[in-house]
Amino acid sequence: MEEEIVGKWQWDTVSYEFHREGTYNYVNTYSGIRTNGRYTISGDTITFFVNGTARSARFSLNGSRFTLYHHGTSCIYTRV
């Protein structure tokens, strides 16, 4: 699963770019937020580590679709 997530994913003004070594970049062009950190995957859960804080969310991958489920909502990202 970790190899499948490697690459850049975008939804509206938000994008994630996941790297093989377990790091990622997050950009929200609307709010101006840019961050990077580490990530781990265990089953259907992805955990993001930023500035000493860990945040987890469920996710699914289906071809060119990456869906992130968080706080009762879902965002569908497409590979770019």
Query: Which helix H or strand E contains 59, and what residues bound it?
Result: strand 53-62
Return d(Cα 76, Cα 6) in angstroms, integer. 16
The whole-number pLDDT of residue 1 equals 62
Q: How far is CA 33 from CA 9, 28, 58, in A?
A: 16, 5, 22
Domains contained in the chain, number: 1
- CATH code, domain with 68: 2.40.128.280
pLDDT in tens, 59-71: 999 989 999 998 8
- Please, what sign has the CA dihedral across residues 23, 55, 58, 17? negative
- Residue range of the domain that includes 70: 2-79
pLDDT greater at residue 1 or residue 23: 23
Residue with the bigger pLDDT between 73 and 71: it is 73
